[in-house]
Every structure is written in structure tokens, then in C-alpha cells.
């Protein structure tokens, strides 16, 4: 309810709360905020754009103590695309130094690089930063106001997305989606490593980690069927994972397999519990039609077998008898 307060009409607030409540059961906990923001933007794009304009004009930097001697928080309140660019620039540089043999942790390196770049203590390398801003062609050309998706950061109001897309050094890439469920589709290259365009594709398609109830940033691209076991390096044989979920995935008692007829990924834990995963719609949580939502629900929550139905019916009957 808090995220719907930017709507300037009480009836629209009520509508947003109702629509969001109907969709919550199929949304991972870490992606609920994105769903709420997207639905609010769709119901009143003008109000969302006005709030975004005011907030973007209020960008500022602050430095506050942490309560731990010798440390402080250095915070920057920025437009989303600027914050994402800063993060990726620091992260890319830190990982390149780490790969070259630097013993500091990624977090330590990012902090040191931040200080060096702001103070000018050293001359930083010229690192190009690549951002993925996804929107419909109608949104790009102003025919509608469907929110865009800044990969890794979440939805942006259409006017803000158009502003970003029409300034700076921008390249437009055409993407194709599956009309049935709204996910991204692509061709299959033949190679071992997920790099270049294929790596970008998987990151745009999955947006966040595909692990169990995880919404962390993607750090690794994983082969669903291991390359050593004959698995191809393709979009269909891949999932984006965080470092932690990649470690869990490699546990010998954890099973991860694609479902060929639905495109879902099924994780099975050592206790034999199963979790199903689909890529989110390419424009983020909530960017689907009613038919697409029903299709996704059927895949994520398949009907029980007759044996399972009888078992659960017996449990319910037994509990009522008690």
C-alpha cells in the first residue's frame, strides 16, 4: 500500500491494491517491489513521471557516521541509470583487477576504486559501461507509456526511459519475445563460455538470479546440463545465478533440470522439495497480459496428480476430524 500512495486519486489507489493483491501469489518475495512499482506506473504514468521528476531533481550526496569508530556511510541519491552506471563501472574494474591477481576482495576493491576516482589519486582506466534498458517500440516512439526495465535496477517511467534512450551514446537492439508468456527468445550459438552477446542476452532475459526465491544480481551464467556432459552453450541451456546460488547448485544432492515442454527450470532440494522457475517477462514483473499470467501460473503451479490429490484430501479430512 505504501508504494501506491504516489497515485493522486483514491480510486486509483484502491484499484492498484486490488490488482497487485491478485498477482502476489506468483511473484517471488524479492520481486514484489518491482511488481508494485510497475502496476502503479501503468495505472497513472503521469503521476509516476511527476514523482520521478521531483525525485531525480533531488539527487544529493551525504556522509554519515555508522556508529562504528573509524567508519562512515558515503551515500549518493541518484537517478537510477546513473546509479547503475556507477555500480557497473566499479564492479567491472574491481573484477578486472581481481582477475589480474589482486588479493583484495571485490567489495574492498570497489571501495578503493571509488575513492581513487573521486579524489583523483590515480588515473583510472578507461572502462566502457554497458547498460540494458528494455522497452517496447511503442514506448520508445511515444505511442504508449508502458514502463521500461533497466536490467538489474527495475522499472522506469516511460518518459524517463525515452529521455535516457535519446541522449548520450545509445544503440538500439531489436529483441523478440514469446507471445505466449512474454519471455525473451534467441538463437543458439555454439561455444563453451557464456560471453559477449549471449551473456548479455541471458542477463536481460533472467534479470535476477534464478535460484530458489532469490532476487540477487546475476554473477554467473550456469549450464543447466553441464558442458562436460554434452550440454550446449545456448540460451536454452542456461540460467543466471548469484554466487551463493551457484555454490548451492553445485551441491551433489541438489538437482537442477530444464523442463523441455514448458521452458521452466526445476530445482530439487536434498529433502526432495521442488521449486519451479520461469524467466520474468522481459519488461519486468507485472508486464504481462491476463492470458500470459494464466499461462505462467499453470507452469509455475502445475495441477497435482490424482495420487497427490487423494493424499492431500486425506490430510485435510484428517485435520478436520481432529
Q: What pLDDT is attached to residue 126?
A: 43
Residues 41-86 have pLDDT tens digits of 888 888 888 888 998 999 999 888 787 766 888 999 999 999 999 9
**Half-sphere exposure of 183 toward its Cβ, with a 13 Å CA cutoff?**
20
Angle at 213 between CA 209 and CA 216, to 5 degrees: 35
H or E segment to which residue 276 belongs: strand 274-277
How would you label 243-277 residue by residue, b for 16+ Cβ within 10 Å and e otherwise?
eebbebbeeeeeebebeeebbbbebeeeeeeeeeb
Provide the grid cell at 93.
574494474
283 contacts 148 by C-beta, under 8 angstroms: yes
**Which three cell numbers, joined as nine digits, stand for 47?**
503521476
Query: If you count DSSP H runs as helices and E runs as strands, how many of each does the chain have, helices first?
Result: 11, 12
- What phi and psi, each to the nearest 5 degrees, are found at residue 146? -65, 135
Lowest mean pLDDT among 5-19, 20-34, 206-220, 221-235: 5-19
Instruction: Tell me what pLDDT residue 7 has.
Output: 64
What pLDDT, on the 0 to 100 scale, is given for residue 313?
Answer: 62
101: DSSP letter? T
> If you average pLDDT over residues 153-160, what whole number do you get?
81
A 10 A CB-CB count for 192 gives: 9
What pTM, to 2 d.p., does this model score?
0.53
Instruction: Tell me: pLDDT of 318 over 70.
Output: no
Residue 163's H or E segment, with its range, is helix 158-165
Highest mean pLDDT among 91-100, 121-130, 207-216, 249-258: 91-100
218, pLDDT greater than 70? yes
The percentage of the chain sitting over the pLDDT mark of 70, rounded to a whole number, equals 75
Place of cell 493424499: 311
In the predicted structure, residue 92 carries a pLDDT above the cut 70 = yes
In this predicted structure, the answer to whether residue 23 has a pLDDT above a threshold of 90 is no
Share of the chain above pLDDT 90, in %: 23
Is the pLDDT reported for residue 160 higher than 70?
yes
The SS3 call for residue 237 is helix
Q: How confident is the model at residue 13 (pLDDT cuts 50, 70, 90)?
A: low
* Domain segments of the chain as ranges: 207-322
Residue 107's pLDDT band, with cuts at 50, 70 and 90, is: very high
49-53, 118-122, 205-209, 277-281: segment of lowest average pLDDT = 118-122
pLDDT bin (cut points 50, 70, 90) of residue 322 is low
Q: What is the model's pLDDT at position 228?
A: 78
Q: Residues 253-259: what's their mean pLDDT?
A: 90
Residue 189 has pLDDT above 60, yes or no: no
pLDDT at 93: 95
Higher per-residue pLDDT: 144 or 195: 144
**Confidence at residue 125, expressed as pLDDT on a 0 to 100 scale:** 43
- 87 vs 296, residue with greater confidence: 87
**Mean pLDDT rounded to a whole number for the chain:** 80
Give which of 163, 139, 161 is closest to 150, Cα–Cα: 161
Q: Are 153 and 164 in contact (CB under 8 A)?
A: no
- Residue 102, C-beta contacts closer than 8 angstroms, at least 6 positions apart: 109
Name the residue with higher pLDDT: 295 or 89: 89
Amino acid at each position: 500500500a505504501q508504494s501506491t500512495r504516489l497515485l493522486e486519486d483514491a480510486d486509483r489507489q484502491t484499484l492498484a491494491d486490488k490488482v497487485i493483491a491478485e498477482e502476489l501469489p506468483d511473484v517471488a518475495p524479492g520481486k514484489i517491489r518491482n511488481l508494485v512499482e510497475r502496476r502503479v506506473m501503468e495505472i497513472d504514468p503521469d503521476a509516476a513521471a511527476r514523482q520521478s521528476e521531483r525525485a531525480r531533481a533531488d539527487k544529493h550526496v551525504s556522509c554519515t557516521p555508522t556508529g562504528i569508530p573509524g567508519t562512515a556511510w558515503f551515500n549518493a541519491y541518484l537517478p537510477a541509470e546513473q546509479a547503475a552506471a556507477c555500480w557497473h563501472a566499479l564492479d567491472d574494474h574491481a573484477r578486472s583487477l581481481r582477475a589480474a591477481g589482486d588479493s583484495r576482495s571485490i567489495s574492498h576493491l570497489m571501495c578503493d576504486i571509488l575513492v581513487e576516482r573521486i579524489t583523483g589519486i590515480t588515473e583510472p582506466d578507461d572502462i566502457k559501461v554497458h547498460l540494458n534498458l528494455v522497452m517496447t517500440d511503442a514506448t520508445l516512439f511515444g505511442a504508449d507509456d508502458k514502463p521500461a526495465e533497466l536490467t538489474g535496477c527495475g522499472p522506469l517511467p516511460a518518459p524517463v526511459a525515452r529521455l535516457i534512450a535519446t541522449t548520450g551514446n545509445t544503440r538500439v537492439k531489436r529483441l523478440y519475445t514469446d507471445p505466449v508468456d512474454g519471455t525473451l527468445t534467441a538463437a543458439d550459438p555454439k561455444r563453451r563460455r557464456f560471453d559477449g552477446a549471449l551473456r548479455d542476452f541471458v542477463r536481460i532475459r533472467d534479470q535476477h538470479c534464478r535460484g530458489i526465491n532469490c532476487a540477487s544480481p546475476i554473477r554467473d551464467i550456469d549450464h543447466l546440463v553441464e558442458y562436460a556432459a554434452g550440454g550446449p552453450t545456448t540460451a536454452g541451456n542456461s540460467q543466471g545465478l548469484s554466487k551463493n546460488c551457484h555454490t548451492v547448485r553445485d551441491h551433489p544432492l541438489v538437482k537442477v533440470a530444464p523442463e523441455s515442454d514448458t521452458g521452466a527450470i526445476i530445482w530439487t532440494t536434498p529433502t526432495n522439495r521442488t521449486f519451479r522457475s520461469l524467466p520474468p517477462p522481459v519488461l519486468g514483473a507485472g508486464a504481462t497480459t491476463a492470458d500470459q499470467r494464466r499461462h505462467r501460473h499453470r507452469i509455475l503451479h502445475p495441477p497435482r496428480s490424482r495420487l497427490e490429490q487423494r493424499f492431500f484430501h486425506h490430510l485435510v479430512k484428517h485435520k478436520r476430524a481432529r
